[in-house]
Chains A and B, each alone.
Chain A
């Protein structure tokens, strides 16, 4: 069964450093998403991406964040200058383009630790 994959599974970085989290969505999917979950808190939507541009973003997704689909398979989230509060689990998700069908498939997540 096709699945969303994410790398790395765990990333440790120093405050102020740039990080890139990588995702490979399911191959025929058209919508791509990033979510985050701070430890012990709820899953929060960050951004959605469709047709090579951002469709929707939350208040969390400020100028420090960017997304890119550099080729036909990868979808990346970049944090330009990490802060301690960026420590969280980051989930990538994707879904088909079927109208009215919002079954999102989530990856296993990348745990980001900012020291």
Chain B
């Protein structure tokens, strides 16, 4: 699986958009970009995933660059409850029974 690189931590003001970057320069053509988050002491939570087109759901938007070597997760109006560790994970499209490999992620702190 492709390796990902994320900043260790970020701050964002409440109500503003939080933009979390991820580099995945070795991603291959059949690999998706997934984002999960873990709020303190809870189980990880799926946020969004994409292949090459931008995606949006009720939680977030995902912007993937044209060369697919990087992506940005956008939380449009961050709230205090969005304080969490965010993980960018690259997975092959076949899915199967692949376990998720969590890196260190980005600790996003939403400031009041």
Contacts and interface: CB of A to CB of B under 8 A. Distances in A.
A66 interface: no
A48 B98 contact: yes
A27 interface: no
Q: For the complex, would chain A's binding face be called helix, strand, loop or mixed by DSSP majority?
A: strand
Contacts of B29: none
Contact of B102 (A31, A44, A49): A44
Given A102-B34, A102-B49, A43 B44 contact: yes
A25 interface: no
Contacts, number: 71
Max count, chain B CB within 10 A of own CB: residue among A4, A35, A103: A103
Contact of A101 (B43, B95, B97, B100): B95
Interface of B: 32, 34, 38, 41-46, 49, 91, 93-105
Interface of A: 4, 31, 33, 35, 42-50, 55-56, 58, 89, 91, 93, 98-109
Given A4-B43, A44-B102, A101-B95, 8 more contacts: A47-B99, A56-B99, A99-B93, A102-B49, A106-B43, A106-B45, A108-B42, A109-B43
